[in-house]
Structure 1
């Protein structure tokens, strides 16, 4: 049974067993972000990352027309009309971007329709990104006279590399799902009608695995991407799994040809 755990009308957070779904809920605006949505999204991710019972987080936009087109441009006159305001707005965005980037649990982006600008930034922070065949992507902010901050650029850069990231920003074109797959922007493309089902099945597969292992793999990949020489302690941490109860559950279930019921310890 799904249980709502927040009352924010523009950002719905629902939980079903170990899977949490966060929905950007402004369908009348194609799920465009306001500063409050940015702030609350970060707050939820910080809290969920600390929740040991969570095994996967799904992020989506309400409806099937859009994941998100990014920031609500109508807010610019009041919230981002000059550098001083933009810096404060940027601090809110940075907090959320870092909360998602550092989240210990796997994140799945369920992408329907439009996924551009800040929407693509959020999707880039997911570990698995699933979209429909009619989805559209891009970051056409050159047409607004805007640049992406370092915090905003980092997820895209890690995802597609410097050459592709720069091409996406310099050209500002909108590209389709197949091109997104070729560039590495998305993980899988399925029929539009199957996006929700595929995202759910993906989250269930992830949640069915050992949660400590998923968290370690995310941590290790982040560390390797950061570069630098690994310490002996860091190398030894890769073998901590052998002292977990989940390892005992996992290998015994394999030998007995049973489905493991991991406990996260």
Structure 2
């Protein structure tokens, strides 16, 4: 087995590290399964308020672990199981997690890396980061659910360029197209990402979960009107009362 997905929880922050450094953190099948387990567990956490996702050793994720591909890619049932169970299992667990997720993107962010980054709420990248999904060079397309995810988050034009041209795009381009939220000098990426995560942990955790539930529902095609029956159930919650009271008292809230 190559690679692992490591989880470290410190106080209200969880750090998830993609670790397969000999292959620029390419995702093995085992790593996809571990990613699912990690985020399923984080969704149940009552202590964690924000998640930082990073790769080990100066790269985010260079794609899938191609060394494993001959084991399952050449028959449709095995290929379907890989994409629909392993890969989509990990990605859907990230999307279902109602904690804010911040991506620390350094170096290579290719294929699976773009997909994992697409599941994050805030994406911080270094100036030297590179993005793409050049799988046409390997003779296969992106799986449907994964393509839908990337097209929604990176934009259809960007998805077309990555998939049809096997284009590799720089961080400035992805910032201009709205996929990235911030681009900083490569050396500043860890500090900037941690700063964003710490800012989130000081905010109301209930509001974060409710916002993520709402945004997920809207992304899935539900209308705002369908959300109205329960939209204001938080009215009498302790966090709501504390936030308003703190503002009126001109003090920091205690969430």
TM-score (norm 2): 0.94
Q: Map Cα deviations across residues 195-254 of structure 1 (whole Å, 9 max, x no partner).
A: 00111111111111101101111111121222244556x214222232110111111111
5+ residue gaps, structure 1, are 1-7
Q: CA deviation at 1:183?
A: 1.7
Question: Could you say which residue in structure 2 is the equivalent of 1:238?
Answer: 231
Give TM-score, length-normalised by structure 1: 0.91
How far off its partner does 1:89 sit? 1.1
Q: Give 2:167's aligned residue.
A: 173
Deviations 1:83-102, CA, capped at 9 Å, x for gaps: 22211211211111111111
1:69-108 map, 5 Å: 69-90=62-83, 91-108=85-102
Answer whether contact 1:97 1:151 (CA < 8 A) is retained.
no
Counterpart in the other structure of 2:179? 185
CA, structure 1 residues 230+133, in 2 after alignment: closer, same or farther (shift >3 Å)?
closer
Distance across 2 between alignment mates of 1:74 and 1:229: 43
What whole-Å deviation, never above 9, does each CA across 1:1-35 have from its counterpart, x for those lacking one?
Answer: xxxxxxx9722100111110000111111111100
Q: Who is 1:5 aligned against?
A: none
Measured against aligned partners, the alpha-carbon deviations of 1:84-130 in whole angstroms (never above 9, x if no partner) come to 22112112111111111111111111111110111111011100000
SS in 2 for 1:24: strand
Mapping for residues 176-215 of structure 1, pairs under 5 Å: 176-215=170-209
Are 2:136 and 2:164, in contact at CA under 8 Å, matched by a contact in 1?
Answer: yes
- Alpha-carbon offset, residue 160 of structure 1: 2.8
Q: 1:67 aligns with which of 55, 60, 70?
A: 60
